[in-house]
């Protein structure tokens, strides 16, 4: 999968490296700001109240 | 040996190196497993640092909202709005406390259990907070006698820690008006903090009880118990 993406990046090595970094940055931002908060809400791993629900 | 036709297809798919199919499958599986591992580590990082960072940002805003609300003379806080400030000198921390304990409320910092007492009142002020770095992470470091200071528009309320215990999440009596005798009417002004324990787990609740020791008008200046915390 990663090799497939790498081969499809256009340009020479410096351009490819830059594009790969930008791509990785976008994925990280999406995870950090959208997906992780959503997963965290759904899992509710850190319930801290006493409310009678086990 | 692999047939010529299959060989040709593989060459088309992968012009750089030709690899047998079982190796390609193994490589794909390896990539998927590595990706899952990295995702898990990233999520753990988010749960530890990301949430703490978000709460720090929310707290900055809530602090300003609280100051504006007090300046406007609005004394009754609506759900989801800040209702008081809480200082714990031992942990060198202070927070704006939101009214309510829903998930959304607690993403901004500590939350005040609705229908529990307000600071200074006879009864029990219930406050819940996440067990993360920017909220109640170090709550287990509190010792008997440590001050927990609630600050409202009009006053300072210095509570002193009287006890700590670990209970099940179903123990609603810890935030009852009279936590020692849940069926009887309250006689003292108490404050109770709840968070999860053990750290990163959800099985039990860490409870800290404190009792009102000193009431001070806002005009009389900051209480000594705050130490040299910056204003």
Active site residue B130: yes
Q: Measure the CA–CA gap between B47 and A44, rounded to whole angstroms.
A: 11
Report ipTM for this prediction: 0.83
Q: Is the dihedral of CA B149, B92, B80, B193 positive or negative?
A: negative
Given this model, what pLDDT does residue B149 score? 96
Can you give the pLDDT at residue B121?
93
Query: What pLDDT is recorded for position A40?
Result: 83
Residue A32 lies in a domain: yes
The whole-angstrom distance between A37's CA and the closest CA on chain B is: 8
B109: distance to nearest CA of chain A, Å?
Answer: 12
Closest to A45 (Cα-Cα) out of A9, A36, B32: A36
pLDDT given at position B215: 95
Q: Which helix (H) or strand (E) holds A51?
A: none
Q: Show the 3-state SS of chain B.
A: CCCHHHHHHHHHHCCCCCCCHHHHHHHHHHHHHHHHHHHHHHHHHHHHHHHHHHHHHHHHHHHHHHHHHHHHCCCCCCCCCEEEEEEEHHHCEEEEEEECCCHHHHCCCCEECCCCCCCCCCEEEEEECCCCCCCCCCHHHCCCCCEEEEECCCEEEEEEEEEEEEECCCCHHHHCCCCCCCCCCCCCEEEEEEEEECCCCCCEEEEEEEEEEEEEEHHHCCCHHHCCCCC
- Please indicate whether, in this complex, the C-beta atoms of B196 and A46 are within 8 angstroms of each other: yes
Model pLDDT, residue B48: 83
Q: Using alpha carbons only, give the angle B107, B103, B66 rounded to the nearest 5 degrees.
A: 50
**Chain B residue closest in CA terms to A36:** B43
In which region does residue B80 sit, left (phi positive, over 0), alpha (psi from -120 to 50) or beta (all else)? left
Active site residue B112: no
* Domain assignment of residue A26, given as a range: 1-6+17-41
Q: Which of B202, B44, B190, B13 is nearest to A51 (CA)?
A: B202
Question: Which residues of chain B fall below pLDDT 70?
Answer: 1-17, 74-75, 230-231
User: A7 and chain B: CB distance < 8 Å anywhere?
Assistant: yes
| A47 domain residue, yes or no | no
Among A34, A35, A39, A46, the residue to mutate for chain B (most B Cβ within 10 A): A46
Confidence of residue A3 (pLDDT cuts 50, 70, 90): confident
Chain B residues closer than 8 Å to A40 by CB = 46-47, 51
**Residue A33 located in a structural domain:** yes
Give residue A53's pLDDT: 45
Q: What is the DSSP secondary structure assignment for residue A32, as one 8-state letter?
A: I
Q: What distances in angstroms separate CA B130 from CA B30, B104, B198, B199, one per listed residue?
A: 36, 12, 12, 10
Find all residues with CB under 8 Å of B210, minimum gap 6, and list them.
B148, B159, B160, B161, B162, B190, B191, B192, B193
pLDDT of residue B1: 45
A27 and B39 Cβ atoms separated by less than 8 Å: no
From the CA of A19, how many Å to the nearest CA of chain B?
Answer: 19
Domain regions of chain B by residue span: 44-226
What residues of chain B, 131 to 190, have a C-beta less than 8 Å from chain A? 131-132, 136, 167-172, 174-175
List CB contacts (< 8 A) between B136 and chain A.
48
Closest-CA distance, B40 to chain A, in angstroms, reads: 10
Interatomic CA distance for residues A32 and B50, integer angstroms: 8
- pLDDT given for residue B13 in this prediction: 52
Which CATH code is given to the segment(s) B44-226?
2.40.260.10
Q: Determine the pLDDT at residue B198.
A: 85
Query: CA quadruple B46, B51, B52, B58: dihedral positive or negative?
Result: positive
Q: How far is Cα B113 from Cα B110, in angstroms, rounded to an integer?
A: 10
Tell whether the model's pLDDT for residue A20 goes beyond 90. yes
Q: Is the residue at A48 inside a domain?
A: no
Res A41 pLDDT > 90: no
- Is the CB of B169 less than 8 angstroms away from the CB of A47? yes
- Say how many domains are in chain A: 1
Instruction: List CB contacts (< 8 A) between B170 and chain A.
Output: 50, 52-54
CA nearest to B198 within chain A: A46
Residue-level pLDDT at A54: 37
- Report which of residues A6 and A50 the model is more confident about: A6
pTM of the model: 0.79
């Amino acid at each position: 999968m990663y090799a497939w993406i790498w081969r499809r990046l256009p340009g020479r090595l410096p351009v490819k490296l830059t594009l790969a970094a930008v791509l990785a940055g976008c994925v990280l931002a999406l995870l950090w700001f959208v997906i992780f908060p959503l997963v965290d809400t759904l899992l509710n791993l850190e319930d801290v109240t006493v409310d009678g629900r086990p | 040996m692999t047939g010529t036709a299959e060989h040709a297809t593989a060459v088309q798919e992968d012009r750089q190196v030709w690899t047998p199919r079982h190796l390609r499958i193994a490589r794909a599986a390896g990539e998927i497993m590595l990706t899952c591992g990295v995702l898990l580590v990233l999520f753990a990082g988010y749960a530890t640092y990301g949430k703490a960072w978000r709460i720090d940002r929310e707290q900055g805003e809530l602090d300003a909202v609280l100051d504006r609300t007090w300046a406007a003379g609005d004394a009754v806080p609506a759900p989801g709005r800040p209702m008081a400030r809480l200082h714990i000198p031992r942990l060198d921390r202070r927070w704006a406390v939101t009214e309510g304990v829903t998930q959304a409320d607690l993403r901004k910092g500590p939350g005040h259990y609705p229908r529990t007492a307000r600071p200074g009142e006879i009864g029990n002020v219930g406050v819940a907070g996440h067990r993360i770095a920017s909220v109640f992470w170090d709550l287990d470091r509190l010792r008997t006698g440590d001050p927990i200071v609630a600050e409202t528009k009009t006053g300072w309320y210095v509570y002193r820690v009287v006890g700590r215990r670990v209970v099940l999440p179903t123990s609603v009596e810890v935030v009852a008006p009279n936590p020692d005798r849940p069926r009887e009417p309250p006689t003292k002004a108490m404050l109770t903090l709840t968070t999860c324990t053990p750290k990163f787990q959800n099985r039990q609740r860490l409870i800290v009880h404190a009792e009102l020791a000193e009431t001070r008008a806002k005009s009389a200046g900051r209480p000594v118990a705050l130490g040299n915390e910056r204003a």
